[in-house]
Structure 1
């Protein structure tokens, strides 16, 4: 009987750890989305690891510094307002690595004319649990739907 209880506990532990990691990643996405939409440029880079490699269709690969520069430029642009919404399709947790399939919907509003442009951008984000306990994106691939 004790052996069966031990086996059951061992089977549950990985599922519980995966559930906890998935919840942490969902919370990180939610915080990032809130920071981005509130134009808190100083906080949006925290979702990315320092060794980030990002690839967006048609653009050259970029690292952490360039990614942060692009975010800061967008969020401090006085002529436009950016808004992101996120749909998480799937999160797979594999130890200290996780893969998230996501779809971002970005709306850009021109302040002077009120014109809005909307893009839908499916992507794949690879997270790593960092030494400080936070999940951060180490790789991402994204593209706009045609």
Structure 2
């Protein structure tokens, strides 16, 4: 009898594992789209909330930055009185493995006045942190030419 209960428990766990990974991937996708909305609406604290305090990022023209520097850059751009910056995400792929995930994506940045658009390809590494929230611990982004 114990064997049947154990086998049934194992089957339920095995069947739920792909579902949990899909839920994590959906959560990460949602966090990225929410980040764009937060950025576009000037919500600095919410936008910075996507990043881990352990962040290391590398972007073309800015070099390597940490959490504090990245959030200062975001805040400065979001509150630029002369220009309006808007981001949109095109998520190409989300791979979840345990408490780490890798996201391949493309960001479109539109700057007004002038509606000048540029695209950046990026690779984000997320970690599910102790509070259960997925945050970016590493990312690289480079402007497409």
Same fold (TM over 0.5): yes
Deviation of 1:3 (Å): 7.6
Note if 1:144 corresponds to 2:132. Answer: no
Paired residues, what number?
Answer: 142
Which 4+ stretches in 1 moved above 3 angstroms? Answer: 1-8
Worse-superposed segment, 135-144 or 4-13: 4-13
Residue in structure 2 matched with residue 77 of structure 1 by the alignment? 80
Q: Does the CA contact (< 8 Å) of 1:41 and 1:76 recur in 2?
A: no
RMSD: 1.6
Q: Note the residue ranges of structure 1 that are not aligned, 5 or more in a row.
A: none
What's the CA shift string for 1:66-105, capped at 9, x where partnerless?
A: 1000100000101000111111100000000000001000
Q: Note the residue ranges of structure 2 that are not aligned, 5 or more in a row.
A: none
User: Which of 5, 15, 18 pairs up with 1:15?
Assistant: 18
Residue in structure 2 matched with residue 36 of structure 1 by the alignment? 39
Deviation of 1:42 (Å): 2.6
Q: Does the CA contact (< 8 Å) of 2:33 and 2:88 recur in 1?
A: no
Alpha-carbon distance between aligned partners in 2 of 1:17 and 1:123, rounded to the nearest angstrom: 25
Q: Does the CA contact (< 8 Å) of 1:98 and 1:127 recur in 2?
A: yes
Alpha-carbon distance between aligned partners in 2 of 1:133 and 1:9, rounded to the nearest angstrom: 22
Q: What SS does the corresponding residue of 1:62 show, helix, strand or coil?
A: strand
Deviation of 1:2 (Å): 7.0
